[in-house]
A = this chain, B = another copy of it.
Amino acid sequence: MMILGLVRWMQPVHGYDVRRELLSWSADKWANVQPGSIYHALRKLTDEGLLRTVSVEQVGARPARTTYEVTAKGEDEFETLLRAQWWQVQEPPDPFVAAFSFLPAMPREEAAAALRNRANLLRAGVESMRASLDSDWVRTRKPVHVGWMFELWLARAEAETAWCERIAERIESGVSYLPDGMERAEGWSGWTDGSR
């Protein structure tokens, strides 16, 4: 629901503008907003009185272009929503963590290889991000806090890279997946497949 925020600092806008801006931030990745959701969101926000339609233009026989701007109520709501995100820590769902929880279903070799591969991909990402951080395009055309966001990704990615290597080694070392105490005890029947 941070479409609201975008409308707020592009006032007045129509859906397509918002869509382009989101795409240019490649926000379909780190926010859950695909193009299709935008128009629905705009209409819903309007119904709730957070947005107001400014005008409906029609150029030729193309679809009508509805322009929106934020109401006072919308400003309020945005501030509330924004603060909620700033003051709370709320780890997002991570598909990799989910997959990792099924570690015992992967053959050891493959698991280790995949982790090494992941480390490499992360490193590559870090590289390309560093490059664009240094590039003129970001340095001179984008607000500096965009660079700061890159730094956050960088920090996380580096931490994760190290973790991947560490875990890969442990897996290769052949340690048992079972809890420390019980070596081949009861109840862990489902846990054997890839581990052979």
Contacts and interface: CB of A to CB of B under 8 A. Distances in A.
Given A140-B179, A143-B177, A89 B159 contact: no
Given A140-B181, A175-B144, A155 B159 contact: yes
Contact of A94 (B92, B121, B175): B92
Contact of A89 (B89, B93, B125, B155): B125
Interface in A156-196: 156, 158-160, 162-163, 166-167, 170, 175-182, 188, 190-191
A33 to B, nearest CB: 9
A160 B156 contact: yes
B162 A155 contact: yes
Contacts of A5: 102, 105
Given A87-B118, A91-B153, A100-B148, 18 more contacts: A9-B191, A11-B190, A25-B101, A30-B93, A30-B94, A30-B97, A82-B99, A82-B105, A85-B98, A86-B100, A86-B106, A86-B111, A89-B118, A100-B152, A143-B177, A143-B188, A155-B159, A156-B160
User: What are the nearest 10 A-B pairs in CB distance?
Assistant: A9-B190, A85-B99, A159-B159, A155-B159, A86-B114, A140-B181, A89-B121, A103-B145, A92-B94, A31-B98
